Structure 1
Protein backbone atom coordinates (compact mmCIF):
# COMPACT_ATOMS: atom_id res chain seq x y z
CA UNK A 1 0.00 0.00 0.00
CA UNK A 2 2.16 2.84 -1.25
CA UNK A 3 1.46 6.20 -2.77
CA UNK A 4 1.59 5.40 -6.49
CA UNK A 5 0.47 8.76 -7.81
CA UNK A 6 -0.32 12.29 -6.79
CA UNK A 7 -3.81 12.81 -5.39
CA UNK A 8 -6.56 14.12 -7.63
CA UNK A 9 -7.35 17.55 -6.23
CA UNK A 10 -10.69 19.35 -6.13
CA UNK A 11 -11.26 22.37 -8.36
CA UNK A 12 -14.06 23.95 -6.33
CA UNK A 13 -16.06 23.83 -3.14
CA UNK A 14 -18.99 22.63 -5.23
CA UNK A 15 -16.99 19.53 -6.19
CA UNK A 16 -16.51 18.63 -2.52
CA UNK A 17 -20.17 19.32 -1.72
CA UNK A 18 -21.25 17.12 -4.66
CA UNK A 19 -19.22 14.23 -3.22
CA UNK A 20 -20.64 14.64 0.28
CA UNK A 21 -24.23 15.14 -0.80
CA UNK A 22 -23.96 12.31 -3.33
CA UNK A 23 -22.69 9.98 -0.61
CA UNK A 24 -25.60 10.83 1.69
CA UNK A 25 -28.21 10.65 -1.07
CA UNK A 26 -26.57 7.49 -2.48
CA UNK A 27 -26.47 9.09 -5.92
CA UNK A 28 -22.70 9.50 -6.32
CA UNK A 29 -21.50 7.50 -9.34
CA UNK A 30 -19.43 4.54 -8.17
CA UNK A 31 -16.47 5.66 -10.32
CA UNK A 32 -16.37 8.91 -8.31
CA UNK A 33 -16.01 7.09 -4.97
CA UNK A 34 -12.21 7.35 -4.91
CA UNK A 35 -9.75 7.62 -2.04
CA UNK A 36 -9.84 11.39 -2.50
CA UNK A 37 -13.64 11.35 -2.41
CA UNK A 38 -13.66 9.34 0.81
CA UNK A 39 -11.47 11.94 2.50
CA UNK A 40 -13.32 14.92 1.04
CA UNK A 41 -16.66 13.47 2.13
CA UNK A 42 -15.29 12.91 5.62
CA UNK A 43 -13.97 16.47 5.77
CA UNK A 44 -17.32 17.82 4.52
CA UNK A 45 -19.25 15.78 7.07
CA UNK A 46 -17.04 16.87 9.96
CA UNK A 47 -16.79 20.53 8.91
CA UNK A 48 -20.20 21.23 7.43
CA UNK A 49 -22.68 18.73 8.88
CA UNK A 50 -22.72 19.09 12.68
CA UNK A 51 -26.19 17.52 12.59
CA UNK A 52 -24.58 14.15 11.73
CA UNK A 53 -22.73 12.19 14.41
CA UNK A 54 -19.96 10.99 12.08
CA UNK A 55 -18.49 8.50 14.55
CA UNK A 56 -21.86 6.84 15.10
CA UNK A 57 -23.20 7.04 11.53
CA UNK A 58 -20.26 6.69 9.14
CA UNK A 59 -20.42 2.88 8.95
CA UNK A 60 -24.10 2.98 8.04
CA UNK A 61 -23.63 5.85 5.56
CA UNK A 62 -20.79 4.20 3.63
CA UNK A 63 -22.15 0.64 3.77
CA UNK A 64 -25.56 1.76 2.44
CA UNK A 65 -23.86 3.81 -0.26
CA UNK A 66 -21.73 0.80 -1.29
CA UNK A 67 -24.84 -1.37 -1.58
CA UNK A 68 -26.70 1.26 -3.58
CA UNK A 69 -23.77 1.45 -6.02
CA UNK A 70 -23.85 -2.32 -6.54
CA UNK A 71 -21.12 -3.17 -4.07
CA UNK A 72 -20.99 -5.80 -1.36
CA UNK A 73 -19.92 -5.32 2.25
CA UNK A 74 -18.42 -8.63 3.38
CA UNK A 75 -15.22 -10.09 4.80
CA UNK A 76 -13.16 -9.19 1.72
CA UNK A 77 -14.67 -6.11 0.11
CA UNK A 78 -16.72 -2.99 0.69
CA UNK A 79 -16.89 -1.12 3.96
CA UNK A 80 -13.79 -1.37 6.19
CA UNK A 81 -14.54 -0.17 9.71
CA UNK A 82 -11.03 0.29 11.06
CA UNK A 83 -9.65 2.13 8.04
CA UNK A 84 -12.71 4.38 8.03
CA UNK A 85 -12.41 5.28 11.70
CA UNK A 86 -8.66 5.83 11.39
CA UNK A 87 -9.26 8.36 8.62
CA UNK A 88 -12.11 10.01 10.57
CA UNK A 89 -9.63 10.49 13.44
CA UNK A 90 -7.02 11.78 11.00
CA UNK A 91 -9.36 14.23 9.28
CA UNK A 92 -10.62 15.48 12.63
CA UNK A 93 -7.00 15.95 13.78
CA UNK A 94 -6.19 17.79 10.54
CA UNK A 95 -9.19 20.11 10.97
CA UNK A 96 -8.27 20.89 14.59
CA UNK A 97 -4.86 22.03 13.40
CA UNK A 98 -6.20 24.02 10.45
CA UNK A 99 -5.39 27.70 10.61
CA UNK A 100 -6.86 30.15 8.20
CA UNK A 101 -10.04 30.88 6.39
CA UNK A 102 -10.36 28.71 3.33
CA UNK A 103 -13.13 27.01 1.43
CA UNK A 104 -13.87 23.31 1.29
CA UNK A 105 -11.75 22.62 -1.79
CA UNK A 106 -8.70 24.34 -0.29
CA UNK A 107 -9.07 22.38 2.95
CA UNK A 108 -9.72 19.10 1.13
CA UNK A 109 -6.72 19.64 -1.13
CA UNK A 110 -4.48 20.52 1.81
CA UNK A 111 -5.69 17.36 3.56
CA UNK A 112 -4.96 15.24 0.49
CA UNK A 113 -1.46 16.70 0.25
CA UNK A 114 -0.78 16.16 3.96
CA UNK A 115 0.48 12.92 5.50
CA UNK A 116 -3.11 12.09 6.53
CA UNK A 117 -4.13 12.09 2.87
CA UNK A 118 -1.76 9.29 1.92
CA UNK A 119 -3.25 5.93 1.07
CA UNK A 120 -0.69 4.22 3.30
CA UNK A 121 -1.15 6.58 6.27
CA UNK A 122 -2.97 3.98 8.44
CA UNK A 123 0.09 1.70 8.23
CA UNK A 124 1.89 4.11 10.53
CA UNK A 125 -0.43 2.89 13.28
CA UNK A 126 -1.20 -0.68 12.23
CA UNK A 127 0.73 -3.69 11.04
CA UNK A 128 -0.42 -4.77 7.59
CA UNK A 129 -1.71 -8.11 8.94
CA UNK A 130 -3.91 -6.48 11.57
CA UNK A 131 -5.17 -3.66 9.36
CA UNK A 132 -6.24 -6.00 6.58
CA UNK A 133 -7.72 -8.65 8.85
CA UNK A 134 -11.40 -9.61 8.75
CA UNK A 135 -11.75 -8.39 12.34
CA UNK A 136 -10.49 -4.91 11.34
CA UNK A 137 -12.82 -4.81 8.34
CA UNK A 138 -15.85 -5.83 10.39
CA UNK A 139 -15.24 -3.65 13.45
CA UNK A 140 -12.79 -1.15 14.84
CA UNK A 141 -9.62 -2.68 16.25
CA UNK A 142 -7.10 -0.61 18.20
CA UNK A 143 -3.75 0.09 16.56
CA UNK A 144 -0.84 -2.22 17.29
CA UNK A 145 2.04 0.08 16.24
CA UNK A 146 1.27 3.61 17.49
CA UNK A 147 -1.65 5.54 19.00
CA UNK A 148 -3.96 7.39 16.63
CA UNK A 149 -3.76 11.20 16.56
CA UNK A 150 -5.74 12.73 19.37
CA UNK A 151 -5.74 9.48 21.35
CA UNK A 152 -4.83 9.71 25.01
Structure 2
Protein backbone atom coordinates (compact mmCIF):
# COMPACT_ATOMS: atom_id res chain seq x y z
CA UNK A 1 0.00 0.00 0.00
CA UNK A 2 1.29 3.45 -0.85
CA UNK A 3 2.37 5.58 2.08
CA UNK A 4 0.20 8.69 2.29
CA UNK A 5 0.63 11.56 4.69
CA UNK A 6 -2.51 12.32 6.68
CA UNK A 7 -4.27 15.57 5.81
CA UNK A 8 -5.68 16.99 9.05
CA UNK A 9 -8.57 19.43 9.32
CA UNK A 10 -8.11 23.02 10.47
CA UNK A 11 -11.43 23.58 12.21
CA UNK A 12 -14.69 22.04 13.32
CA UNK A 13 -16.40 24.36 10.84
CA UNK A 14 -14.40 22.79 8.00
CA UNK A 15 -15.50 19.30 9.07
CA UNK A 16 -19.15 20.35 9.30
CA UNK A 17 -19.00 22.14 5.97
CA UNK A 18 -17.52 19.03 4.36
CA UNK A 19 -20.32 16.86 5.76
CA UNK A 20 -23.02 19.28 4.72
CA UNK A 21 -21.64 19.48 1.18
CA UNK A 22 -21.52 15.68 1.02
CA UNK A 23 -25.18 15.44 2.01
CA UNK A 24 -26.08 18.18 -0.48
CA UNK A 25 -24.13 16.35 -3.22
CA UNK A 26 -22.06 19.43 -3.94
CA UNK A 27 -18.62 18.36 -2.71
CA UNK A 28 -16.03 18.64 -5.48
CA UNK A 29 -14.63 15.28 -6.54
CA UNK A 30 -11.05 16.27 -5.69
CA UNK A 31 -12.08 17.01 -2.09
CA UNK A 32 -13.57 13.52 -1.60
CA UNK A 33 -10.32 12.13 -0.15
CA UNK A 34 -9.82 9.30 2.31
CA UNK A 35 -9.67 11.86 5.12
CA UNK A 36 -12.90 13.44 3.88
CA UNK A 37 -14.64 10.05 3.91
CA UNK A 38 -13.55 9.42 7.51
CA UNK A 39 -14.29 12.96 8.71
CA UNK A 40 -17.74 13.04 7.11
CA UNK A 41 -18.56 9.66 8.63
CA UNK A 42 -17.46 10.88 12.06
CA UNK A 43 -19.48 14.09 11.73
CA UNK A 44 -22.55 12.06 10.83
CA UNK A 45 -22.08 9.80 13.88
CA UNK A 46 -21.29 12.66 16.26
CA UNK A 47 -23.68 15.38 15.14
CA UNK A 48 -26.36 13.93 12.88
CA UNK A 49 -28.32 11.34 14.88
CA UNK A 50 -31.16 11.83 12.40
CA UNK A 51 -29.05 9.99 9.81
CA UNK A 52 -28.68 6.24 10.21
CA UNK A 53 -25.33 5.24 8.73
CA UNK A 54 -26.40 1.70 7.89
CA UNK A 55 -29.52 2.86 6.03
CA UNK A 56 -28.64 6.34 4.77
CA UNK A 57 -24.89 6.50 4.12
CA UNK A 58 -24.90 4.26 1.02
CA UNK A 59 -27.43 6.52 -0.69
CA UNK A 60 -25.61 9.69 0.37
CA UNK A 61 -22.35 8.41 -1.10
CA UNK A 62 -23.95 7.11 -4.29
CA UNK A 63 -25.73 10.45 -4.88
CA UNK A 64 -22.49 12.31 -4.23
CA UNK A 65 -20.60 10.09 -6.67
CA UNK A 66 -23.29 10.64 -9.32
CA UNK A 67 -23.09 14.42 -8.83
CA UNK A 68 -19.28 14.38 -9.00
CA UNK A 69 -19.15 12.26 -12.14
CA UNK A 70 -17.88 9.10 -10.44
CA UNK A 71 -19.79 6.10 -11.76
CA UNK A 72 -21.06 3.60 -9.19
CA UNK A 73 -20.11 0.37 -10.93
CA UNK A 74 -18.57 -3.00 -10.16
CA UNK A 75 -15.13 -1.37 -10.35
CA UNK A 76 -15.56 2.23 -9.15
CA UNK A 77 -17.58 4.48 -6.91
CA UNK A 78 -19.54 3.24 -3.92
CA UNK A 79 -18.12 0.19 -2.11
CA UNK A 80 -20.64 -1.32 0.32
CA UNK A 81 -18.25 -3.37 2.46
CA UNK A 82 -15.60 -0.68 2.86
CA UNK A 83 -18.28 1.86 3.75
CA UNK A 84 -19.78 -0.51 6.32
CA UNK A 85 -16.38 -1.32 7.80
CA UNK A 86 -15.50 2.34 8.31
CA UNK A 87 -18.97 3.16 9.67
CA UNK A 88 -18.55 0.42 12.29
CA UNK A 89 -15.02 1.55 13.16
CA UNK A 90 -15.90 5.24 13.33
CA UNK A 91 -18.89 4.52 15.57
CA UNK A 92 -16.69 2.41 17.89
CA UNK A 93 -14.12 5.23 18.00
CA UNK A 94 -16.85 7.78 18.78
CA UNK A 95 -18.08 5.73 21.74
CA UNK A 96 -14.58 6.03 23.26
CA UNK A 97 -14.32 9.80 22.67
CA UNK A 98 -14.63 12.64 25.10
CA UNK A 99 -17.54 14.55 23.58
CA UNK A 100 -16.40 17.78 25.23
CA UNK A 101 -13.40 17.99 22.88
CA UNK A 102 -13.89 20.06 19.73
CA UNK A 103 -15.11 18.11 16.71
CA UNK A 104 -11.93 18.90 14.77
CA UNK A 105 -9.75 17.44 17.53
CA UNK A 106 -11.74 14.22 17.59
CA UNK A 107 -11.63 13.93 13.79
CA UNK A 108 -7.89 14.55 13.64
CA UNK A 109 -7.24 11.95 16.35
CA UNK A 110 -9.45 9.50 14.44
CA UNK A 111 -7.38 10.04 11.31
CA UNK A 112 -4.32 8.80 13.20
CA UNK A 113 -6.17 5.95 14.96
CA UNK A 114 -6.46 2.42 13.57
CA UNK A 115 -10.13 3.04 12.64
CA UNK A 116 -9.15 5.97 10.44
CA UNK A 117 -6.26 4.28 8.67
CA UNK A 118 -6.41 3.55 4.96
CA UNK A 119 -5.82 -0.14 5.65
CA UNK A 120 -8.43 -0.48 8.46
CA UNK A 121 -10.67 -2.88 6.46
CA UNK A 122 -7.72 -5.20 5.79
CA UNK A 123 -7.67 -6.05 9.50
CA UNK A 124 -10.94 -7.89 8.89
CA UNK A 125 -10.97 -8.83 5.20
CA UNK A 126 -8.46 -10.45 2.89
CA UNK A 127 -7.51 -8.24 -0.03
CA UNK A 128 -9.14 -10.73 -2.44
CA UNK A 129 -12.42 -10.72 -0.52
CA UNK A 130 -12.51 -6.97 0.14
CA UNK A 131 -11.86 -5.98 -3.45
CA UNK A 132 -14.31 -8.46 -4.97
CA UNK A 133 -17.35 -7.34 -6.95
CA UNK A 134 -19.55 -8.97 -4.30
CA UNK A 135 -18.00 -6.81 -1.55
CA UNK A 136 -18.47 -3.67 -3.61
CA UNK A 137 -22.14 -4.45 -4.29
CA UNK A 138 -23.18 -5.55 -0.78
CA UNK A 139 -21.75 -5.90 2.70
CA UNK A 140 -20.03 -9.25 3.06
CA UNK A 141 -18.87 -11.04 6.19
CA UNK A 142 -15.25 -10.57 7.28
CA UNK A 143 -12.94 -13.47 6.42
CA UNK A 144 -9.91 -12.48 8.55
CA UNK A 145 -11.30 -11.17 11.85
CA UNK A 146 -14.49 -9.90 13.45
CA UNK A 147 -15.41 -6.24 13.18
CA UNK A 148 -15.67 -4.37 16.49
CA UNK A 149 -19.11 -4.18 18.07
Structure 1 CA distance, aligned partners of 2:4 and 2:76? 23
Question: Shift of residue 53 of structure 1?
Answer: 1.2
| CA deviation after TM superposition for structure 1 residue 54, in Å | 1.4
Partners of 1:54 and 1:128 lie apart in 2 by 24
TM-score, normalised relative to structure 2 = 0.97
**Cα distance between partner residues in 2 of 1:114 and 1:61:** 25
Residue 98 of structure 1: CA displacement? 1.1
CA distance in 2, matches of 1:108, 1:63: 23
Q: In structure 2, what is the equivalent of residue 12 of structure 1?
A: 11
Deviation >3 Å, runs of 4+: none
SS at match of 2:15: helix
Q: Secondary structure at the match of 2:72?
A: coil
1:58 counterpart SS class: helix
Structure 1 window deviating more from structure 2 (136-145 vs 100-109): it is 100-109
| Deviation digits for residues 11-68 of structure 1 (CA, Å, limit 9, x no counterpart) | 0001101110000001111110000000000001111011111110111000010000
- SS of 1:46's equivalent? helix
Quote the RMSD (CA, aligned, Å): 0.9
How many positions carry a matched residue from both structures? 149
Unpaired stretches in structure 2, ≥5 consecutive residues = none
Displacement of 1:117:
1.2
- Give the structure 2 partner of residue 81 of structure 1: 80
